[in-house]
Amino acid sequence: MIDRSGLAEFLRRRRESLQPEDVGLPRGPRRRTTGLRREEVAELCHLSADYYSRIEQERGPLPSEGLIAAIAQGLHLSLDERDHLFRLAGHHPPVRGATSEHIGPGLLRIFDRLTDSAAEIVTELGETLRQTPLAVVLTGNLTRFTGPARSLPFRWFTDPATRQLYHPDDHDHMSRVFASGARRLTTVRGPGSKAALLAERLLAESPEFAELWNRHDVSVGPHEVKRYVHPEAGLVELDCQTLHDPEQSHRLLVYTAVPGSESYRKLDRLSTLAARPVSADLH
């Protein structure tokens, strides 16, 4: 059963312990509030301020598991704190491990500070969980996909439009990278895993994937430089730096250009677009 008083008190304490800069929000010059405002937490959790306020006031309907997960992520909770929040709300905590989509607070703190960089957080299956505004301008909104299409390797082999963003000379190698990664990950996670189910789906839908899968390659790595073909900027060559969170099997990818290069100037021009709304159908 839900522990309304415990839930409300825990949320208040966590909210009051956070500052705007801890969660990627600007701090106003006249700010007097200790910790975050309820409205700010609601914005981070993609909830209405009224709904969130009712939870802290020990009233309103029983929060669903999805809403509790959103609050846990918005408040940058650790896994132990997330599980505690679920139990207070009367739910069983989600399973930890490779399939978890709860981003660790340490990774989020780094991501929140990359406001002027192209960066994203992805799962081991290539599902994008978060993007900075510049990353959205560069690659389009990759968080909008649902089902198997959330995985970049799945889209690569099933949706020809996915490849338009990458230089044609890199397509064959990228196909080998994705197939090799799928083979390796399926072995690690085992039969019946999400990785194995995705590979089975690709084997049924993509002859190209099936051919590469049957080669049993497991050590094909990506090129050091990623070459994007942007619809406005043209060719953009970027280095990709990766930070791993082994507990959650998430990766923070940060894309940078060599200072003074043409790609650096193009990325700088694209950054001016990051402040305005970007169509979800860009790519």
Q: Are the C-beta atoms of residues 167 and 227 closer than 8 Å to each other?
A: yes
Average pLDDT over all residues of the chain = 92
Residue 253 has pLDDT above 50, yes or no: yes
Taking only the tens place, the pLDDT of each residue in 96-122 is 877 889 999 999 999 999 988 999 999
CA-CA distance, 183 to 58, in Å (whole number)? 49
pLDDT, one tens digit per residue, over 161-208 is 999 999 999 999 999 999 999 999 999 999 999 999 999 999 999 999
Assess contact for 164 and 229: CB atoms under 8 A.
yes
Q: Considering the entire predicted model, what is its pTM?
A: 0.86
How many helical (H) and strand (E) elements, i.e. helices and strands, does the chain have?
12, 5
Angle (CA) 237 243 247, round 5°: 145
Dmax (CA) for the chain in angstroms is 63
List the beta bridge partners of residue 256. 239
Q: Is the pLDDT of residue 84 over 90?
A: yes
- Whether 4-88 and 105-271 share one fold: the answer is no
The CATH code for residues 105-271 is: 3.30.450.180
Q: Where are the domains of the chain?
A: 4-88, 105-271
What band does 19 get if pLDDT is binned at 50, 70 and 90?
confident
Fold (CATH) for 4-88: 434 Repressor (Amino-terminal Domain) (1.10.260)
